[in-house]
Structure 1
Amino acid sequence: MYRLLSRSLCRDFWRAAGRCRVCPAHLLPGPAAGRAPEVAMPPARVAPPGRSSGLLPLLAGLAWFSRPAAAEEEEEEQRQGAGAAAAEGAADETEAEIILLLKRAKLSIMKDEPEEAELILHDALRLAYQSNNKKAITYTYDLMANLAFIRGQLENAEKLFKATMSYLLGGGMQQEDNAIIEISLKLASIYAAQNRHDFALAGYEFCISTLEEKIEREKEIAEDILSVEEKANTHLLLGMCLDAYARYLLLSKHPSQAQRMYEKALHISEEILGETHPQTIVLMSDLATSLDAQGHSDEACAYVQRASDLARQTEHPELHMVLSNLAAILMHRERYAQAKEIYQEALKQAELKRDEVSIQHIREELAELSRKTRPLT
């Protein structure tokens, strides 16, 4: 009867993860060793069919494409001469063109134009290979993987994420890097969606244990070596992993284990993002769901009531779903009149958002509530 809130509100958690992402060794192909990984590229200029309403946040920035320092450029020109300078100028033009294509692709994704985004990314990847720009290749694979994930093309997303991993690991990135952990998490989510449970569990547990050990080691590192922001980003990434694992456990009918993960994720979110942050409110509501699934309705009601109060105060973008969870828990407690009132409020909010899935769900719940309260004849 209750619903887990959508993951579109995890953007701050995803943002914490850095540039690109990777996975535990037993889930990975071998490093690329300077050549293209063994992954089938989709045909150029052909966008595969199929869409998915699920959203993953996109990667931040284009900082992969760092420019050489002026002194290094000057030294290179002196060593290689005018011919090298001309070649470098051509490489700069190609790199600028790749960056422009990637920006256009990201804009198309933001505008919900995935087919156009994929066509642009194919052009970017072709240029990246032609210029042997390994950073551009890696970044483009990562964007293509995220796009495939968004569209529900999980097999293609898995291959593309592994291609990204192969380049990153081949370039010397360590498995505890936040970028590697984030791709591990995305792969675990893919495996969970495909019911490949052994791989999913291995992925989630790798992410969480690696981050917990990393956080413990970083406690004593001075701020001039590792900034407060970098430490906070690692904590947020751990929160994101705990949240994703909790969702998986709850959907797999392990509510008590899910509860423990949600409690840890909520603590991180409250500490770093604050109680009124949208993600904190989502976690309160989902924690309530895990408690209600165990029959702890009083405790569940306290959490979801707090979540709904904060959602109203902050005009939460998923207020209707928080209210729907509150109404479901009230109905489980047989507080039918109050549940009906909250469902009706949730329905109005869902209609304002034009969320057809939620509208249908809430109407079904109201119909069920009506059957429960219908007098016996």
Structure 2
Amino acid sequence: MLPQQKIGSVPCAVGFSLFTWLGFYKKTSAEDELIHTIKHCVLFIQRYDYIKAEQLLHVALRQAQQMQHQLAITYIYDVMANLALEREHLDKAKDLFVAVTQRIMADGATEDDFRVVHISTKLARISHLKKDYQTAQMGYEWCLEKLEKIIKSDPSEEKMKLFALAEDWYGRLFLDTNQYEHALKLMTDSLEKMQSVSDIEKEHIATQMNDIGTVCDLLGKTDESLHYFKEAIEIGKKLEMELGTMYVNLGRAYIKKKILSEARKNCGLALKIGVMSKNKDVKEEAENCFQEIKRLN
């Protein structure tokens, strides 16, 4: 029996824009310094230097507290929460997101406010990652219902991006609980929305296509899985992504179709990548593919 195709990782931290929160107009020198500090925090996060980012966030928080700038304090808590979620420090992320929600609702936000829905989506994701699937499902359902209403009145890219992310995460919950048809529907709906948003990274689109191909494979929809794996690889080639796992997935799909020449070719490409990049997992998976091809010859 063939092993299952590999599922990629999905980024967690989709935060708010700096000036959406802060509302600085005529800035003092202290506000300039605070903005400079926060921008450096975000830069460290983008570079995956999470330790420096966290250290600097505490500096920024002290600055904001000294200024008694409540919006800045709330924003910094939000960045801290997103960083904790990205690092899968789930209890810490939950506490921070709850604190942010309490602060913005104390300032007049309602449960229909986009910021509240945004944070609620993250809280559902945290429950999901903690395997509290019932709470996560209720959270995702609530958020998607709110987002549908929000998008009817404001179909902006920012709103559509969160809708796509929520659908993707909800789809992955169904994937984790072996409800593959539900997973496929939500993940393909999410992909369609992602492709309409200009600032979604192409790497994420490629990963999403690979993962949808995997779900199709689990459902026995091999022709559809071939389509998604090929599309993922074509995008990945242009971006110089690490494609070893995608070639393994494509090779396995061809094995299921008994098209062994194509299976051999793609597993060979995966093996080459695994050897050259010293990726033991990809190398081992490619070798397993060749063993399966031998058994079928």
Asked whether the two chains share a fold, i.e. TM above 0.5, the reply is: yes
Correspondence for 2:281 among 361, 365, 370:
361
344, 353, 364: which one aligns with 2:268: 344
> What amino acid maps onto 2:182 in structure 1?
Q
In structure 2, the gaps of 5 or more residues are: none
- The counterpart of 1:192, out of the listed 128, 133, 136, is 128
**Structure 1 residues 328, 210: closer, same or farther in 2, change over 3 A?**
farther
The structure 1 residue matched to 2:24, chosen from 40, 44, 67, is: 67
* Residue in structure 2 matched with residue 99 of structure 1 by the alignment: 35
Task: Kindly tell me the number of residue pairs found equivalent between the two proteins.
Answer: 293
Aligned to 1:15: none
Relative to structure 1, is the Cα distance of residues 318 and 370 closer, same or farther in structure 2, using a 3 angstrom cutoff? Answer: closer
CA shift, 1:294, in A, is: 1.0
What secondary structure, in the 3-state scheme, does the structure 1 residue paired with 2:206 have? helix
- 1:292 is matched with 217
Q: Deviations over 1:185-213 (max 9, x none)?
A: 22222111111112111121112121123
Residues 159 and 340 of structure 1, relative CA distance in 2, 3 Å threshold = farther
Cα offset, 1:345, TM superposition: 2.0
Aligned twin of 1:50: none
**Residue 118 (str. 1) matches residue 59 (str. 2):** no
Deviation at 1:68, TM superposition (A): 4.6
What's the secondary structure of 2:241's corresponding residue? coil
Write the deviation string for residues 28-72 of structure 1: whole angstroms up to 9, x where unpaired: xxxxxxxxxxxxxxxxxxxxxxxxxxx635543344332356xxx
Cα deviation, residue 124, structure 1: 1.7
Which segment drifts farther, 97-106 or 303-312? 303-312
Of the two, which has the highest radius of gyration? 1
1:135-150 to structure 2, matched below 5 A, reads 135-150=71-86
Separation (CA, whole Å) in 2 of partners of 1:134 and 1:274: 30
**2 CA distance for matches of 1:117 and 1:276?**
22
Going from structure 1 to structure 2, the CA distance change for 1:204 and 1:99 (only over 3 Å counts) comes to same
TM-score normalised by length of structure 2: 0.85
Q: Structure 1: any 5+ residue segments left out of the alignment?
A: 9-54, 70-88, 219-225
Q: How far is the alpha carbon of 1:115 from its aligned partner?
A: 1.8
Give, in whole Å, the separation in 2 of the partners of 1:306 and 1:113: 32
- What is aligned with 1:208? 144
In structure 2, the residue matched to 1:179 is 115
Asked if structure 1 preserves the Cα contact closer than 8 Å seen for 2:264 and 2:293, the reply is no
- Write the letter of the residue equivalent to 2:47: K
Give 2:251's aligned amino acid.
A
Residues 7-18 of structure 1: pairs in structure 2 closer than 5 A: 7-8=10-11
Q: Percent identity?
A: 26
Given that residues 276 and 310 in structure 1 are in contact (C-alpha distance below 8 angstroms), is that contact kept between their aligned partners in structure 2? no
2:172 is the counterpart of 1:236? no
Alpha-carbon distance, 1:340 to partner: 3.4
Per-residue CA deviation, residues 69-97 of structure 1 (Å, 9 max, x unaligned), is: 6xxxxxxxxxxxxxxxxxxx9xx343333
Partner SS for 1:7:
coil
Larger RCO, structure (CA 8 Å, separation 6 or more): 1
- Please state how far the C-alpha of 1:253 moved relative to its aligned partner: 0.9
1:265 aligns with 2:190: yes
Q: Which has the higher helix share?
A: 2
Match of 1:4 in 2: 7
Q: Distance in 2 between matches of 1:285 and 1:279?
A: 10
1:203 aligned counterpart, secondary structure: helix
Quote the Cα distance in structure 2 between the aligned partners of 1:150 and 1:282: 17
1:246 pairs with 2:182: no
Q: TM-score, normalization: structure 1?
A: 0.69
Shift of 1:275: 12
